[in-house]
Amino acid sequence: MKALYFLIPLFMVNACKTQTGNVISSENTNMEQVENSNSGCPEVGNCIVVLHKNKNLVVKEDGTGAMYPEMTAGKNIVVEYTYLKEGPEGTADGNYSETIHFEIPAATTNLRKENATLSDVNLLYGKHCFCKGEAGYYPITDGNLSVEKNNETITFDLKFKVGKTSQVVSHIVETVKL
């Protein structure tokens, strides 16, 4: 019995390995590592684009009034773009990341949204860091989004400004395989 207690933490540590590269699962999720060259990803850090097929994006509020995204079963595609900069080695809270979420209606082939109409696609910016008063999710209402979709790829061009907090990523141009 004592041996079982010893092995449980080993199993837990072994189960925490994360995947990198392209991932396609039963949830119809496609994850793609983005090259830092011309995609809008800053040179310091890594960017990942994840397409969540057959999902809807719902922007919710917690008990304190803070916003957060939640994906539910649906017919649309939710795009999740993440920029991650690793913190200095040896620091517990040194990582910095930004996420951008938005929803593309399933039947869309071309989509153009500007400023206030960005709320139609639930465009949401998230800042995740140890930066008191700035971390959290913010709706984006200042920018331009254009999306072109065919049977094989989705191309999106997003230029935006949050205004309520500082940001590293402000322009993203990506083509992702479906």
Which DSSP category does 25 fall into?
A: -
**What pLDDT, on the 0 to 100 scale, is given for residue 2?**
56
Residues 6+ apart with CB under 8 A from 55: 71, 72, 73, 74, 76, 77, 78, 103
Q: Consecutive 10-residue runs of the chain (178 residues): their mean pLDDT? A: 53 48 46 51 91 95 92 96 90 90 93 95 94 91 95 94 92 92
Going by C-alpha positions, the residue among 71, 67, 32 that lies closest to residue 52 is 71
Distance of CA 9 to the CA centre of its chain: 31
**What pLDDT, on the 0 to 100 scale, is given for residue 68?**
95
**What pLDDT, on the 0 to 100 scale, is given for residue 148?**
96
**What pLDDT, on the 0 to 100 scale, is given for residue 31?**
54
**What pLDDT, on the 0 to 100 scale, is given for residue 33?**
47
Task: Render pLDDT for 119-146 as a digit per residue (tens, 0 to 9).
Answer: 999 999 999 998 888 899 999 999 999 9
Output the pTM of the full model. Answer: 0.77
**What pLDDT, on the 0 to 100 scale, is given for residue 89?**
84
Residues 6+ apart with CB under 8 A from 39: 47, 172, 173, 174
Q: Compute the Cα dihedral for 125, 126, 130, 131 and give only its sign.
A: positive
Q: Output phi, psi for 115, to 5 deg.
A: 50, -115
Task: Render pLDDT for 155-171 as a digit per residue (tens, 0 to 9).
Answer: 999 999 998 899 999 99
